Structures are given as structure tokens and as C-alpha cells.
Structure 1
Amino acid sequence: MVSGTDLPATEFNPEEWSVVLNARQRSPRQQSKETEGTQSSKAAPAAETPAREAESPPSVSPKLDSTAVARPRLKRLPRLPVDDFKIVFRPSAGVDLAQYNDVELRTAVVAKSGLHFVVADEDLVCTNLAKNIFTVSTSCADRVANYAKIRELTLRGKKLGFHAHIAPPDGARAGIIYRAWNGESPQDLLQELRRANPLLPIVQARDMGRTSRSVLIHFLAEELPPSVKMFGILYAVFNFRPKVEACLNCRQVGHRRDVCPLPNRLTCSSCGQKHPEDYPCTPQCVICGDAHKTGDRTCKQRFQRGFSRLSRPRQRSQQEHQQEKPEFQLEKESFPSIDNRNRSSRSKSPGRSRSSRSRSPGRNRGSKGKSPGRSASQSRDFSTKPEKVSWAKQASCSCCMLSDAKENSKTQETIERLMRENQELKQQLALVLERLSTLTAAPSASSSPLSISPSVIEPDMAAKSGTDIIDSSTQSAKKKRTEQPESSEDDFKSTSQKIRKEHRELKQKVDLGFTQIAERFNKIESILDVLVARLESPPQSQPSPAPSQP
């Protein structure tokens, strides 16, 4: 018997009742079993019906919410490319994205962004009807700003308001700091966090709303840091556990009230019924259905699944360290104790051992009494337990690896530049040596026993020839001095002086060039020695400060 009042048939209206079933679809086997059970129950006599009802377990009716609105069950969404940039578009209240297809949304987004359809051909659009949002995925960083600045779209001739924001990367880890926001913009927060924490891979930062002073930070790392610095204050970083989004307008899970596609129903946010404000009502949670407000701290299902509760990896106790098996353990057979070796030597010479025992029995007894302690100290377990690596050591190692990679890239660029300069210097040196060889080979080739008249020698020929030509020309000039006039002798002297002067200048230039080349080669060799020594030396890990516990 159930206590209550009977409902008259005139007041019953089945259209006012809506049933929301969250059970999964039954398999064909269960349906066939149910049909067989119904047929057998009909064929059985009516007398056995009460007994069967008593034996069968009572069926539990699913928890129903009369204020909820039935929505179709959605399928799994396709996965967007991991390396692309994602821009999430959230419509204003009262806009239902289920009324528009993806082609209309993509056409409106590309037209509003100002990009050409050929340029944005590779960009993708994916709609999430459960959350009433859609995402634009692009691989080009230049087109992200064009999509993120969109604030309204024209769909079927109507201008609808949208809010766009850039989603963090797929591999980013979310952390939260409390009592840290004082009205700064997301750009200012990100700039200050990157300035104060240059070693942390921070990719995004934003506030959690006007009613909260918390700041949500995304790190591109597998583990969260213990703390961050911002505006000269040290904040502890905790793991962010996203809550289940529940709408207080349509009483559905999956989206918030500000993006609900249905118009505002003007119902109570606690129970979902229409009544005066001062009317005492019993709250009902949209997430779990219990008698408390939606998203209250007492709700056990307010957090999304798949997120751990721990803020940081907890420190293992000493008992867990003892139970943990070491990675490397030496065997006792590799290091036998000294007592066993002495016993084996005594067993080989029994007569000698007996005489030694008979001579000093007291001494042997004393040694026997001390042997257990000595053997215990000698038969230690040579085991090496793995050293626990803290987050600070891991962060310092990663930072050292990044700095070493940067230094290696810089040294590699320096080596390549020096090698190019070395090749250029070698080419210049080869040209200088070739020119010098031609200059030194010219006198030997031009020297001959024939007499050369000074009138035949030209300035270019005299410049190319060496001192041998000058001597031969002077000797021939002495022989024919009587035949040649005085003017020819003066010309020959001036030509010879000019040749000697040019020869001295050329020699000085060659010597200066060789000295400069030698100095340059010495400098290059010293730089290469320093770079090779730096590359061969192991990287020195700088000690990092221990993280402060909150």
C-alpha cells in the first residue's frame, strides 16, 4: 500500500509527463528472453501467478525527473588532429546549434574571418551538440587570430552572438592557484607567469570567473610543478578537476545555463519548479538526483571522470621503500665471507686444525662467540635501492637538457661558420701561393745567356722579371754602353730602380698577407679546441632550490 490521494481521471493529462531514461539499450538476447518469459507467464495457470511474483525480485524503477527535457542520445565525436590549433565557439543563450548544419557554420565562419575559401580549405569544423558548441581546427598559426576575433555570425539572415577562445593543446596539464586573480586580463596573466617562471612550459592562463579569484594555468608537461611565482607572490599549484556541466534551465547535463539552446523557463534553480521566491522547496541535484543543490560539495558525482584528486605525487612512506624491490642486487656468492674461506682451508688440513684447537681452546671459543656477529657484518646484502627523484631534480635535469641543447646548437652553428671561413681562407691562400709561384718562376724562365737591350725592356716585363733580368740587363748595358747614347742609360737606370722598388713592395705585401693568414689560422684552431673540449665535457647539472610545501 502506498500512502497518498487518488488522482481523478479528469485531471490526468499524459502530455505533461516526460520520461527520461538513462539506461543503455538492451541487447537482442535480453529482448528474446523477455518475450519468452511473457509467453510462458501467459500459458501458466492463474494460480501460479502470485507465487512467481513472490519469487521474482522486485524491479527498481529508474530515477525520473519531471522537470527535465528529453534530448536525443548523441554519438561519439570524431577526433580532431592533435597538432592543430583549436578555436572553440560558444553561442549566446537561446541559440540552438542543432538547427544548423556544419556546412552553414563553416561558411559563416570563413566569411566572417575575411579569409578566402581556398586558403581555409584545410580548416575543419566539428560541432558538439551536447555542449552546444563547435570547434574550428586549423594547422596555420596565422589564421588563428582571424578566427579568434569573431564575435558574431550571420546564419540564415540572422546575426547571432558568439564567444570564441583558443583551446589549450591536447597534451597540456591543467593546474589551479587560489586567491590570485585581481582583475588582470588573460594576456597579462600569461605574460607575468612566463616572466616570473622562465623554466616552466606555460602555454595558457585565465581566470575562473568574476565570482572566483582562482587562476587556471595550463602546463605543457606530464606533471605539475609544486608552485609558481606571480607578481612577487609564491602560489601552490593544485590539480584541476573539471566539474560536470549542468544546466539549471533545461535540467540537463552537458552544458551550462548561459549557452542553453532553449529559452529561459523562469523556474527555480534549486528544484526546477515554478513557485514564488519565498516558497520553501526541496532542492534536487541535476547531476545525481539527490536532495541538495546542483554542484554542491556534498555531491559525489560533481567532478568529471578520468581526473585524479591528488594535487601532486605523494611522497612514499619508508615502508613502501622497504617493500620495493631494488633494480640491481648483487649476489652473496660473488662476495663470500672470510669465515667460510677459513673454514674451507681448515677442512683441507684436519691435523693442523685439531692441533690449533687443542692448544688454545679458550681462544677458539672466543672466536666462535664473535664469529656470528662478524659473519653478519660481512654477509651484508649488497643491494642498491633506486634513488627517489624529486620534481625539482627532474625539472633541473630537463632545464639542463634544454640549455645543453641550445648550447650544442650554438656551437654547431659556430663550427659551421668557422669551417666556411676556413675554406675561404684556404682559397685565398691558394691564390696567393699561385701568384707567388708565378712571380718566382718568371725570373728563372726569362734568364738566358742572350743579351737584352735596355730599349726592348718594357715596364710590364720588367715588373714580372726578377733580379736576374736586372743583372743581365745591366751587364749587357755595360757591354754596349759605348754604342748606346747617354739618354738610353738614364732610362735603363730609372727602369731598374722602379723594378727594384716594386719588387720590395710586393715582397712586403706577401709577407704581411702570410702573417695575417697565420694569425687567423691560430685563432681558428684555438676556437675549435675550446668548442671540442666543451662538447666532450659532460654537462654540469646546476642545483635547483627545493620546492616549498604548501
Structure 2
Amino acid sequence: MEGAAVVMEGDDLPPEDFGEEHGWRSAAVKKHSRRTDASATERATTCGDAGGYFNAIRKDLNLNKVIKSSRMPRLPSEHWKIIVRPRGGLDVQQTGSARLGRAIAVAAGIAPELAGQDVVCPNTMQNIIVISTASRANADSYLRMRCLTLGIKQYEINTYEAAPHATCKGVIRKIDISESQTDLEKSILTDRNPSALGVKRIKNSETVVIVFDGYKVPNFVYFGTALVRCSLYHRQHDCCYACGRLGHRADVCPTPDEVVCKQCGISNPGENHTCSPKCGLCGGPHATTDKSCKQRFQLPFIVRWRRRERRAESERRSQPSEPASADVGLTQHAEAQADDCDSSQRPRSPSRSSARSRSRSRGRKDGGSSEGRPGPDPRVVVGPNRGADLSRGAGLGTRKERSISRVNPNRRCKVALGLIGCAAAEDPAER
């Protein structure tokens, strides 16, 4: 659940602790098959790189530098991702992307025409290489690489497959060492855990990592018939124990021969060097990435994504709601028709009205018809019962409709347009 994912403490789980397997290959294959089967349905995914949208406020500028430098460009979410970890002091920043791409193509044995859609992107801060490919055959070829040849020198490499896009990791503990990889898959990758894609044990420990489909880690998972507590996986900030710098691990250190004090960070300290420890993340009086450091864990992507969704939702709620354009248009149209009725039913000049009155008076005295314009028919009723009254010869209709017929023409027009109710026509001043 979301609350448990935010408050629970995670573990430092480096990829190389998963053994000699090809990383999360089985999880990626299962995720890809699910995406293919459900291509007609819309999946709630969020495109973005692994280190993007890191909005947490940090006091130490060195931490912000590490975070920004570790961000990767956006790669296609549907591609397979292969991670290459070079050893032997290979510096990917000094080597360059072009030379690395050519060396990887030669080591994998892939023809240039078959690797046209592949992407080779080095991460200079972590000193690793990320390969993105849309071909499963190319991904398997990259996983079989064991060394890179640059000039006359060969560098040993370790390759594994990253977890697929739109997934998250959970951790379960107290799993017996005697449980093999096959036993773990049979106990966890079942129908009772429908979102579980892959499972790995951390070397010889009792901690097991599970990859879940989507951005939610369940509070509990089924391990066979047992219900086991599951917590969100938190990645620890990388700190090299060879050179003492932040951003990469010791197995991929580009300068393994350079000596740096692990406590204070001074280069090439003397034999009698004494110092007070200072954390490179928070500046506290302890070694960098010490267990007492409150900033040694990275904020997981799903937590950043949920916080971003909450901020967007709160901004939408804070904005004042505007009336619908259709309702505004209907109101303006009705008011315009009412104004037209008012202008057409305005009283005439006193001279014409008095002349018409005298003509009508003479007509009554003589017993003849008037030559003036006839007045409104009293049988015309304004209201919903107009047709029913005329059909049954009711003439004047109900009492309310007779009262409406006695009011001035302007009010009858507004009643017909629906601008005022029938009860408003029964104004005592109009009687």
C-alpha cells in the first residue's frame, strides 16, 4: 500500500549481489508478454528516466550534484535494458560514447544493420553503460558479453538485464537459505501474487527481492501458504569504498589506484593522517553513507510519482470552477430574445393610442367593428397547457394562466422564454 511504501525503511541491494544470473531477464520477458497481450488496454504508466523529477530539498550541494549527474536521458519504455558494468579501471567518460558503442557491437557480434535501432548510453556518474534495444535476440547477445576491447587493452565486464519499465521492487525477509531459486519462483510467482514478475535472493542472505508489475508494492505477499510482510525497496546512494567518492561503486571505480580518506574525503592522506569524519551527503559527523545517515537512501521513483500526482490534484482542486460555455451561451441567447420581445412590445405614442381609443369608442356606439388593429386574443394562453386548453375549448385556461394573460406583454414574453416563473407573473402590482 502507499502508506507503507513511504514510511518503511529499505535495504541496500546492489545489482551484483544477485549472483551470476542475467539480472531480471525472466521478469522482463514476463512483463513484455503481458504488455503484448494487453496492448488494447491502456496501462497507467509514467514515462521518465530513472533519476528524473527529483524534487526533494537537499541541504548539501554535493548531493544535488550527484543526483543531477546520475540522471539518464529518456529511453524507449518498450525496449529491453542491458546494464554493462566495466572493470579494470575503465573510465566511460574519458572513453566516449562513440568508441564504447563500436566496442560493444564487436563484442556482441551484432551486424550494424541489425543494431540500427539500439541505443548505447553511458552513465558517467555511475561509470556504467546502458544498452537499450527493441530486439530480444540482440538483448541476449549483449548479455553474453564478457569483455570489451579498446585499442590494445581488454576490460572485463559484467552484464545483467534491468527490471522492465513500469515496475517496482519489494523486499521480503526471513526466507530460509535452503530455498533454491526454483523453490522461490514456485512459492512466489503464483496466481495468488498476480503482480509478481520475478524474484531474486541477495547472495546467501535471508532477504529476497520481488519485482511487481505497476507502481504499487503490496503490504503482504503469499510465500506458498504463508503470508509474508513486504516492504518497498529503497536504493542506497552509491559510494565507492576504493576512492571514497559518491556516485559509483567500488567494482566499477575508474580510479582504483587513487587513495582518498573515507572519513573526510581528502586525497592522498598521509600515514599519520587524523581527521574528524564528515558525511558527503548530509554533512553530519559520520562517514559517508553510514547507517546513521538519514539521507543515505534515495527517494524511490514511485514515491516521487505519487507526490507529483497529489500536487497536480491539489492544484486542480484549488482552481475556481468556471461555468460551462454551453450554459453561458444559452443564457445570453435567452436574454437577447427577451430584449427583442421588450423592444417589439413597447407602448406606442400617446397620440396614436388616444386615436385608436376614440375609434373603438365610436365603433361601440355605432354597433359596428373597429377599424383599428385588433388587440390580443384573450384565448391565447402562455404556458405548458396551451395546447390542451385549446383542444378542449377551455378558452381562458386555468386561473394561473388567466392571470398571466392579464399581465403586460413584456412579462408574458419573458415567461414564455423561461426567464421568470409563472408565479412571478402573479405580481399584485400587475393586477
Provide TM-score, normalisation by structure 1.
0.39
Structure with larger RCO (C-alpha < 8 A, sep 6+): 2
More helix by share: 1
Provide TM-score, normalisation by structure 2.
0.49
Max Rg structure: 1
